[in-house]
Structure 1
Amino acid sequence: MNTENVSDTDSTTGSDRMKDLASRGDSRSQRPSSEAFREFISSGWDETVPDAAPLESARWTPSRRDALVRRLPATRLVLPAGVLKVRSNDTDYPFRPDTAFAYYTGLGTDEEPDSVLVVEPSAEDPGTAQATYFFRPRAGFDTSEFYADARYGEMWVGRRPTLTEASQRLGVEVRHIDELRDHLAKDVGAQLSLSIMPGVDAGIEAMVEEIRAQNGLPGGDEAAAENAALKEAASEQRLLKDEYEVGQMRKAVDATLRGFEDVIRELPRAVGHPRGERVIEGVFAATARADGNGVGYDTIAAAGDHACTLHWIRNDGVVRGDELVLIDAGVEVDSLYTADVTRTLPVSGTFSPTQRKVYEAVLEAADAAFAVARPGLRFRELHAAAMEVLARTLAEWGLLPGTAEESLSPEGQWHRRWMPHGTSHHLGMDVHDCAQARREMYLDAELEPGMVFTIEPGLYFKENDLLVPEELRGIGVRIEDDVLVTADGVENLSAAAPRRADDVERWMAELRR
């Protein structure tokens, strides 16, 4: 970035943190300060503001908020978007709002750092929600913020919406962020509690703690328990996807599969590069950024033995023609829903006999989980079905110190040496969605229509593993698909990416023509 921050010292931001951020680089500033400049830059601008269209998600967010206030009655709920996080000196990481904030506002992409959604029971009907959105709206052309504020200024970060535009988009009341404290404090006490999504915005969290104390609400563990209940409720509500969410998941999966196809086309370039894994990562990232908001999580592009490191995201290794490459990647679309797909590909385009042997064992385990998946099955039984196959296979290969049955018992579990992770996790706005849900709502829950999760068994034989034959060492395979529970079974959302070994080889050959 070659431009310099020209923030004026009289630019206001609403908090000390914002002031600090806005003044980054003042010591090297070359800002113009004459009154003539101020008058000239504030004149001659078209001030027309067209009406804003409602977000597609705005049809769905009211019912989400209603369900939240019914779960946590008589409580004003504070859902911050979060703050920008420093990457280095005066540069920040790209902003991604907190998931609960995005879920209940319907906002996506990078909207909107430092903003806050407040949800509370309606005065007329406590079973329905009243929502108010607080953010910093567009500044006038006659303010120094317009041209001099590197955090909010239109010349620096683009045009911000007005209060009216934001209300039109979200379908809720919208106020300036400077009014937040007064709104949070009003009527809090004996009849109305105050809770905040913890760990998102330390400044707003401190504000809530202070208001609770001033109005006689308990602090300490009791306040923490209320906040944790909000986090749990938001997590559990996302276990069942509505029609809009399912549509967004389909878009994310489709974009992800396009990314895999682009990677396959570029595999020859990866083989010729000293950090071929980075080539794979970069190709997928380009598709994710062009077709969506970006990647939903750090891409795993793991060639050879790196595939045996479950979260290999350094991606700095070579890609050899006789190896497998495990690619675990997902596109996050603008609504922030992400796919999570893994394919293990033979770099040459053809599996060796040993590679195929491992691959087909993993595929059989995945197919076993698919075979039992249906409404009414307990979530943890997906894992059990896959593990039965892998334990039996590893016993047949002579790798277990006992029988498959002994290994599957709680006292055994030897097979987990080569399959140490779970077979499934929920998927949505977070790649590991609904992570704060209670066990009885997650692992021990029955599958219901609208749930979206992964099926992803694997086998990983590290190259220094002396308990396996040498021919298996350095081979890691995972096959991961994204699954929607329907009324009578499940739908494999990522089925368009071939899974069977012959089909994978054919897919790669067609894309490389």
Structure 2
Amino acid sequence: MKYTPLPKELYQRNRKKLVAKLKSDSVAILNANDIMPTNADGTMKFRQNNDLFYLCGIDQEETILLLAPDCPVPAMREVLFLRETNEHIAVWEGHKYTKEEAEAASGIQNIKWLAEFDLVFNTVVALSKNIYLNTNEHLRAGVHVETRDARFIKTCKEKYPLHEYERIAPIMHELRGVKEKEEIAQLQIACDITEKGFRRILSFVKSGVTEYEIEAEFLHEFVRNRSKGFAYEPIIASGASACVLHYIENNKACNDGELLLMDVGAEYGNYNADMTRTIPVNGRFSPRQRAVYDAVFRVKNQASAMLTPGVTIQDYHKEVGLIMQSELVGLGLIDQTDIKNQDKDWPAYKKYFMHGTSHHLGLDVHDVGTMHFPIKAGMVFTVEPGIYIPAEGFGVRLENDIVVLENGYLDLMGNIPVEAEEIEELMNS
């Protein structure tokens, strides 16, 4: 791995938080993700199941974590199962965890090879009343392939039909929503790498450069700083392409007088940054571009201050919408008649600002969390308002990542240039 692993004490605390929420006499099982195929004999890069990683820090395929806190056999209360390596695997795929390395990384003392799983699981299940199984229950998930978890659920229920089955996902959403200090430090590294990439392209962008060249500059800086690369497919959108919210073609030339919207973030240690900046291709905003930019900047700052403990995301989004509504009136994009006649389910401001302002951030870019319960200190959110004007051929979005504190917030991207004057100064220095 390229990154510096987090200490085992984090994963020990995380497991304690999970088992405290399990019913008595329970066993919980979490599986690694599959290595997904592409075509022929090709495969995608492996990406660990985030719930498993959160609980043990093991970044390797074919891993299983078993937790049975009330098991009368103490050695079976925490068991980590690994793929056993051999000479062939070592030659073709490289090093795999040894039992000693896995114990040092996870803090789990009972490490076994995967071949022993069925025997151990059968013993633990016989001593348990409830079986907790994991699934992807993200509110926006579209699961079209059968996962390792899904296959395990089928076989488990066939073999043990009389046990009570419970869901791990709601518990994991609650736990992962509030970050530990080590996680915030890892997110800060991802944001700092993102900053390096952005500063690199500020001196690179000029009229005639292509979007894919800018993408390459980001990737170069990310990887040389021990990131696997982009946290998500980067959006490098010049001109009117910025009005396409998920534009990822990144194949056009950037022209004089256009704005360039870049939604990019670096990954580090499986944690993700999520940044958006909008800059003038020629290094100077036009008066109209600057007016729209400043409006988005004001909304971003006000929205950041509104993310406080006790607030719900739904109420927060409504309030941000009212702030944006006022800015759009000031820009002449909507008027009081539009507001008076608006559809309450699709307010007038949605014509120019059609997406949400914030989402959880962490091991997933759109991280799991409790979206319908009050915000808590320690949660990490993006703040990303935007104004998109297809008729004028440009859009502006600005996005920072913040940690909610008991009083105020910590901006993980506070060192990344965002004020218009600083952007122009850096591009023309």
TM-score exceeds 0.5: yes
Residue 57 (1) aligns with residue 7 (2): yes
Question: CA offset at residue 237 of structure 1?
Answer: 0.7
Q: Percent identity?
A: 29
Query: C-alpha separation between the residues in 2 aligned to 1:317 and 1:389?
Result: 33
Query: C-alpha separation between the residues in 1 aligned to 2:308 and 2:131?
Result: 40
* Counterpart code for 1:349: G
Query: C-alpha separation between the residues in 1 aligned to 2:41 and 2:13?
Result: 40
Residue in structure 1 matching 2:44, options 90, 93, 96: 93
Residue 449 (1) aligns with residue 377 (2): yes
Question: CA offset at residue 408 of structure 1?
Answer: 7.9
* Counterpart code for 1:366: K
* Counterpart code for 1:297: Y
**Kept after mapping to 2: 8 A contact 1:80/1:201:** no
Question: CA offset at residue 345 of structure 1?
Answer: 0.6
**Kept after mapping to 2: 8 A contact 1:185/1:211:** no
Question: CA offset at residue 448 of structure 1?
Answer: 2.4
Residue in structure 1 matching 2:105, options 166, 169, 172: 169
Within 5 A, what are the aligned runs for 1:342-421? 342-400=276-334, 402-403=336-337, 406=340, 410=344, 413-421=347-355
Question: CA offset at residue 443 of structure 1?
Answer: 4.2
Q: Which has the higher contact order (CA 8 A, sep 6+)?
A: 2
Query: C-alpha separation between the residues in 2 aligned to 1:202 and 1:351?
Result: 48
Query: C-alpha separation between the residues in 1 aligned to 2:341 and 2:266?
Result: 37
Question: CA offset at residue 502 of structure 1?
Answer: 1.2
Change (3 A) 1:367 1:164: closer
**Kept after mapping to 2: 8 A contact 1:58/1:171:** yes
Question: CA offset at residue 245 of structure 1?
Answer: 0.8
Query: Quick check: 188-197 or 313-322, which moved more?
Result: 188-197
Quote the residue 2:198 is aligned against.
260
Quote the residue 1:113 is aligned against.
61
Normalising by the residue count of structure 1, what TM-score does the alignment of the two structures yield? Answer: 0.75
Question: CA offset at residue 492 of structure 1?
Answer: 1.4
Secondary structure class of the residue paired with 2:168: helix
Query: C-alpha separation between the residues in 2 aligned to 1:342 and 1:295?
Result: 13
Change (3 A) 1:280 1:443: farther
Query: C-alpha separation between the residues in 1 aligned to 2:418 and 2:236?
Result: 18
Question: CA offset at residue 360 of structure 1?
Answer: 1.0
Q: Deviations over 1:357-405 (max 9, x none)?
A: 1111111211221333333333334323332222122234443364576
Normalising by the residue count of structure 2, what TM-score does the alignment of the two structures yield? Answer: 0.89
Quote the residue 1:508 is aligned against.
427
Question: CA offset at residue 63 of structure 1?
Answer: 1.8
Change (3 A) 1:360 1:323: same
Secondary structure class of the residue paired with 2:325: helix
Quote the residue 2:141 is aligned against.
none
Quote the residue 1:423 is aligned against.
357
Residue in structure 2 matching 1:272, options 208, 212, 234: 208
Residue 491 (1) aligns with residue 403 (2): no
Query: C-alpha separation between the residues in 1 aligned to 2:296 and 2:73?
Result: 53
Residue in structure 2 matching 1:137, options 84, 99, 106: 84
Question: CA offset at residue 192 of structure 1?
Answer: 2.7
Question: CA offset at residue 68 of structure 1?
Answer: 1.2
Query: Quick check: 199-208 or 84-93, which moved more?
Result: 199-208
Query: C-alpha separation between the residues in 2 aligned to 1:293 and 1:404?
Result: 46
* Counterpart code for 1:159: H
Residue 288 (1) aligns with residue 199 (2): no
Residue 212 (1) aligns with residue 157 (2): yes
**Runs of 4+ in structure 1 displaced over 4 angstroms?**
none
Residue 188 (1) aligns with residue 132 (2): no
Residue in structure 2 matching 1:304, options 222, 239, 243: 239
Query: C-alpha separation between the residues in 1 aligned to 2:311 and 2:177?
Result: 15
* Counterpart code for 1:233: I
* Counterpart code for 1:84: I
Query: C-alpha separation between the residues in 2 aligned to 1:75 and 1:340?
Result: 37
* Counterpart code for 1:214: K
Unpaired stretches in structure 1, ≥5 consecutive residues: 1-53, 140-145, 148-152, 464-472
Unpaired stretches in structure 2, ≥5 consecutive residues: 137-144
Paired residues in the alignment total 415
Residue in structure 1 matching 2:253, options 313, 318, 325: 318
* Counterpart code for 2:159: Q
Change (3 A) 1:372 1:106: same
Change (3 A) 1:319 1:370: same
**Kept after mapping to 2: 8 A contact 1:300/1:312:** yes
Change (3 A) 1:125 1:400: farther
